[in-house]
């Protein structure tokens, strides 16, 4: 069975740490988490870096450090790179909801959907309307997120959002109250906290609160005068417990010496840490008041790196009068800090959903093009090979045709040269023997016509004179005459239009003309008419000879 299993690496890129969960799945639907790893994010801003370069550097560093042989990845976009919109639309048909959603969301966005993609799912469908939550991400962010992992033979299976991945952890909660009533999720990250509300396995509402563990780390760094990266670990070593009264908590002298802190300073840090959590609770309570569900959550589950502060769940519960608990399960003794990995673990559960129920940017038209399988030439090797062979055959046939045509042209040239030798008067050095031969042919045909039947100018004048009505019948005064071998053209003055008709009829009876054209027939001041005719000469030689 091992050969049928597959492994996917879930990469949760947080604000201060990268978390990863390697999951193994079988064709029967079973899944188990093999490894959980985390690595601090290295900031490149101080070295002239940028967010994109920093992300790529840290993701590659994380994968190469812990999972260099993995080829299949599941990713999440952070909430600061998406636009979250809660909308209600007057549509209840699931298929129509998918079609209408982008048009309903676009007016609420600061970007155009020409350069962004929208994904969304309904959490409630009523009789006349549907409530849904949507996420919009720009194409550049989608591309930059998957690009570092698209190395040879690698692929990205899903690209979701970190709050959606966290909501997937709801599937791991025990059946009962948590599944039927509204449940809250509080994931305290480095720079911000994700606040989710889920009901019956569906994400109902989410919010990004700009309060996180970094604020506590800054307090420790400022109070103790240490570097920020050292304060991240120091805040856990100080064993601050928010559920305890700092004035009554006893610490050994060795503890104070080891941490280079006194009791008064520790109490001060304890108080300031409580203030951070109070501010967070205030924001959570404000959000509860504005929930679209109209009900309050029955319980909150706490996760994230900030939840590792001692007594955090108990202290928040006392402030809100609502149970706040850690997730009621562990994977192994090795992973006692399971809360840090809840987004990655929840993403595994969300990936188990049917594709139609996932929040997956790779299911959009633009996202489908980002899958590595679409770019892998290996999958297209057979079509590319066949296309290459076809192109080679085409080029060979083309070249063969050129060679055969050039050979045939040489044969024709030899035949032309043989014929040219028998034509008297042909210039053998002419650039085109065919043109030179045609010129000689036309000259000789014209000479033949002139000698044997071509109509000449005197013949035309004699014919016209004999056919023009006599002076007693019409007054005809010739003004001009022109003959070019193919047509005769003349102008004359006659007494009136009746004379014009007589002249045309007389000339039409002649066998020498194929057509008579009236070019001009104008009245003159002296009541005479100026007449211009063009007579096309019939070719007596016909088409019995030519030079083509």
Query: CA-CA distances (angstroms) from residue 493 to 203, 297, 490, 496, 507?
Result: 105, 116, 11, 9, 16
Q: 219, 229, 193, 217: which is closest to 271 by C-alpha?
A: 219
- pLDDT (tens digit per residue) in 434-472: 777 777 777 776 666 666 555 567 788 888 888 888 877
Position 337 scores a pLDDT of: 75
Alpha helical stretches, state H, 207-341: 213-224, 228-237, 253-259, 263-289, 312-320
- pLDDT (tens digit per residue) in 469-528: 887 777 788 888 888 878 888 888 888 888 888 888 888 888 888 888 888 888 887 778
N- to C-terminal Cα distance for the chain? 84
pLDDT at 399 over 70: yes
Residue 76's Cβ-count burial label (10 Å; 0-12, 13-18, 19+) is: buried
- pLDDT (tens digit per residue) in 145-178: 998 888 767 889 999 999 999 999 988 887 654 5
| This prediction's pTM | 0.66
Residues 6+ apart with CB under 8 A from 362: 156, 157, 158, 159, 368, 370, 371
Between CA 160 and CA 77 the distance in angstroms is 6
């Amino acid at each position: 069975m091992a050969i049928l299993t597959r492994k996917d690496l879930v990469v949760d890129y947080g604000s201060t740490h990268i978390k990863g969960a390697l999951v193994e799945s079988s064709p029967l639907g079973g899944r188990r988490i093999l490894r959980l790893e985390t690595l601090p994010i290295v900031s490149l801003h101080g070295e002239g870096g940028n967010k994109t370069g920093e992300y790529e550097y840290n993701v590659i560093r994380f994968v190469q450090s812990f999972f260099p042989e993995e080829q299949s990845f599941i990713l999440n976009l952070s909430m600061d790179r998406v636009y979250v919109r809660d909308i209600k639309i007057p549509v209840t048909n699931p298929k129509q909801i998918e079609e209408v959603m982008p048009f309903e969301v676009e007016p609420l966005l600061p970007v155009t959907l020409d350069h962004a993609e929208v994904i969304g799912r309904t959490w409630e469908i009523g009789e006349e309307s549907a409530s849904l939550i949507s996420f919009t991400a720009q194409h550049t962010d989608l591309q930059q997120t998957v690009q570092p992992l698209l190395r040879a033979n690698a692929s990205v299976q899903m690209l979701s959002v970190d709050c959606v991945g966290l909501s997937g952890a709801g599937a791991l909660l025990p059946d009962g109250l948590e599944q039927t009533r509204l449940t809250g999720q509080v994931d305290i990250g480095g720079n911000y906290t994700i606040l989710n509300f889920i009901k019956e396995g569906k994400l109902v509402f989410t919010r990004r609160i700009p309060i996180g563990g970094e604020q506590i780390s800054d307090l420790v760094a400022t109070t103790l005068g240490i570097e920020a990266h050292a304060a991240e670990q120091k805040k856990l070593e100080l064993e601050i417990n928010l559920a305890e009264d700092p004035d009554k908590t006893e610490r050994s002298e060795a503890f104070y010496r080891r941490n280079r802190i006194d009791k008064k300073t520790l109490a001060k840090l304890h108080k300031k840490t409580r203030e951070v959590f109070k501010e967070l609770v205030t924001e959570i309570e404000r959000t509860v008041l504005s929930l679209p569900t109209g009900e309050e959550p029955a319980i909150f589950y706490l996760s994230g790196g900030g939840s590792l502060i001692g007594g955090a769940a108990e202290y928040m519960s006392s402030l809100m009068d609502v149970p706040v608990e850690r997730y009621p399960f562990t994977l192994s003794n090795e992973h006692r800090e399971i809360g840090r990995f809840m987004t990655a673990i929840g993403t595994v559960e969300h990936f188990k959903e049917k594709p139609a129920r996932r929040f997956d940017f790779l299911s959009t038209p633009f996202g489908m093009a980002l899958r590595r399988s679409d770019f892998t030439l290996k999958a297209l090797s057979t079509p590319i090979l066949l296309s290459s062979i076809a192109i080679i055959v085409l080029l060979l046939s083309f070249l063969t045709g050129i060679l055969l045509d050039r050979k045939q042209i040489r044969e024709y040239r030899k035949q032309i040269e043989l014929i040219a030798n028998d034509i008297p008067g042909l210039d053998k050095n002419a650039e085109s023997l065919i043109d030179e031969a045609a010129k000689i042919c036309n000259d000789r045909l014209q000479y033949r016509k002139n000698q044997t039947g071509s109509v000449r100018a005197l013949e035309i004048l004699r014919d016209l004179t004999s056919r023009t009505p006599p002076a007693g019948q019409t007054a005809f005064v010739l003004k001009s005459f022109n003959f070019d071998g193919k047509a005769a053209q003349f102008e004359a003055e006659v007494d009136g239009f009746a004379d014009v008709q007589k002249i045309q009829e007389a000339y039409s009876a002649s066998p020498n003309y194929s057509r008579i054209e009236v070019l001009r027939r104008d009245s003159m001041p002296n009541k005479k008419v100026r007449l211009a005719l063009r007579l096309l000469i019939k070719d007596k030689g016909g088409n019995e000879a030519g030079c083509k």
